[in-house]
Amino acid sequence: MRITDIILKKRNGGTLGKEEIDFFINGYVSGEIPDYQISALLMAIWFNGMNPEETVALTLSMAGSGDQVDLSAIPGVKADKHSTGGVGDTTTLVVVPLVAACGGKVAKMSGRGLGHTGGTLDKLESIPGFEVNQTMERFIEIVSEIGLSIIGQTANLVPADKMLYALRDVTMTIDNLSLIAGSIMSKKIASGSDVIVLDVKTGNGAFMQDVDAAVNLAKAMVAIGNSVGRKTLALVTDMNQPLGNAVGNALEVREAIEILQGKYKKGELKAVSFALAENMLVLSGTVRTKEEAGVLLQEALDSGRALGKLGDMIEMQNGNPAVTEDLSLLPEAGKVITVKAEQQGFLSSLRTAEIGHCSMLLGAGRTKKSDPVDPAVGIWMKKREGDQVEKGEELAEFHVNDEKNVDEAISRFRKALKISDVQPEKRPLVYQAVEG
């Protein structure tokens, strides 16, 4: 078998078999096939696509390229969730303790933020002492004992994805459905959970800005998961404004804790978190219906059990659990600058990705993986899409330490918000549930 024949076959619109896909994945990871030939193959895939069988074969080959996590030592059904990324998307920190408080088991490996999207590991590391790096033995021990743990991915988990993603980034082949689905699902499959619930974001703050494209991606990922015996479901959810009010690591932790404390009776972040948690409990067999799950989740919230589970996880991973009761223990910025409306009207639209970039300018995010992150800084939104705004009313708080980019960040933030005389129609928060 030769890589040149595989490139030619896909270039001419052919269908690759499992053996051919295994050959190029294994050859690339081992260093036997060079970047320039894989680049050519990626471009051929980008132009001609992959059918569902090819996509499954690609995903499984990538998942098998490194470590396979064995969670069988943890009793019961293990659940996982994944978001395709957005702004103010703090669902993991709400969902995981909620599900654990209802008797579910969540063994989750998460990543860091890059670009305008935040990363769960960065958020957790803003909690004093919290350690995201745990041995696999300790990870299994924690989940077995308290029902939840969130850690960083092991160094050798799906090396094929790390290598291919870096190459896709510089060859402009990121936005291919099969390559996206394979990248996400290879990590989920290698992580070992029995149940996978996906949150596929769509809108101007998401990678998939078109609803139909997001639904197609959701269908592809659900098909992959179910084809290998993982119960998989996806919700396609709105990302045309930050999901929560907070955009920035410690601020997002603060908002998640406040939700678990019961301070918010409604809100998009809470609503999406509950929808994801309901589906995780149903797919795991903890309850039979989403209605039962909703009642159980609300009781876990009202009783304080969910907040207690977050505290348990923080303590087990060497953090200070007192943060769940005393939010002043979280990093705080040295200065808070209020941004006020210059006109009255309705907040009719937001350019969400741009708001994420404004937070990055303050130091809350990174453009490359080696960039440092300031956990204390970010933006707290005071208005949501559709809200009425008076001139001089607060639109947001900018939490700032280094002021060198503040003027640019505020200027860009103002341009990212549109205030008009007409109140916009309310969009669905969940566009579609995709099941196998």
**Are residues 153 and 35 part of one domain?**
no
Phi, psi of 263 (to 5 degrees): -80, -15
pLDDT at 436: 77
pLDDT at 115: 61
**Are residues 83 and 209 part of one domain?**
yes
> Of 303, 326, 349, which residue sits at a domain end?
326
Does residue 168 carry a catalytic annotation?
Answer: yes
pLDDT at 265: 87
Q: Which of 10, 81, 105, 187 is catalytic?
A: 187
**Are residues 299 and 213 part of one domain?**
yes
* 64: DSSP letter: T
**Are residues 257 and 123 part of one domain?**
yes
Name the CA radius of gyration of the chain, rounded. Answer: 22
Q: Is residue 56 part of a domain?
A: no
Judge whether 277 and 95 are in contact, CB under 8 Å.
yes
Phi, psi of 156 (to 5 degrees): -105, 25
DSSP string computed for 142-154? HHHHHSEEEEEPP
Assigned token pair, 431: 């566009």
**Are residues 12 and 109 part of one domain?**
no
- CATH number, residue 27: 1.20.970.10
**Are residues 382 and 312 part of one domain?**
no
Determine the residue type at 197.
V
Q: Which of 168, 219, 230, 270 is catalytic?
A: 168
**Are residues 283 and 308 part of one domain?**
yes
Phi, psi of 147 (to 5 degrees): 95, 0
**Are residues 93 and 242 part of one domain?**
yes
Count how many domains the chain has: 3
Q: Is residue 434 part of a domain?
A: no
pTM of the model: 0.94
Does residue 161 carry a catalytic annotation?
Answer: yes
**Are residues 342 and 280 part of one domain?**
no
Q: Is residue 170 part of a domain?
A: no
Q: State the residue for tokens 């294994």.
A: 26
Q: Which of 183, 193, 273, 359 is catalytic?
A: 183
Q: Where are the beta strands (DSSP E) in 10-110?
A: 78-83, 105-110
**Are residues 115 and 29 part of one domain?**
no
Domain range for 214 is: 78-157+190-326
> Of 274, 309, 326, which residue sits at a domain end?
326
Going by DSSP bridges, is the β-strand pair 378-381/394-400 parallel, antiparallel, or unpaired? antiparallel
Nearest CA-CA partner of 41 in 93, 80, 5, 84: 5
Helix (H, G, I), strand (E, B) or coil at 418: strand
**Are residues 244 and 122 part of one domain?**
yes
- Cβ atoms within 10 A of the Cβ of 398, count? 24
Q: Which of 80, 161, 199, 312 is catalytic?
A: 161
Determine the residue type at 376.
A
- CATH number, residue 395: 3.90.1170.30
**Are residues 121 and 262 part of one domain?**
yes
Q: Is residue 90 part of a domain?
A: yes
Q: Which of 10, 82, 105, 219 is catalytic?
A: 82
Q: Is residue 185 part of a domain?
A: no
**Would you write out the chain's pLDDT as a tens digit for each of its 436 residues?**
999 999 999 999 999 999 999 999 999 999 999 999 999 999 999 999 999 999 999 999 999 999 999 999 999 999 999 999 899 999 999 999 999 999 999 999 988 766 666 689 999 999 999 999 999 999 999 999 999 999 998 878 999 999 998 899 889 998 899 999 999 999 999 999 999 999 999 999 998 999 999 999 999 999 999 999 999 999 999 999 999 999 999 999 999 999 999 999 899 999 999 999 999 999 999 999 999 999 999 999 999 999 999 999 999 999 999 999 999 999 999 999 999 999 999 999 999 999 999 999 999 887 666 778 899 999 999 999 999 999 999 999 999 999 999 999 999 999 999 999 999 999 999 999 999 7
Q: Is residue 147 part of a domain?
A: yes
- CATH number, residue 97: 3.40.1030.10
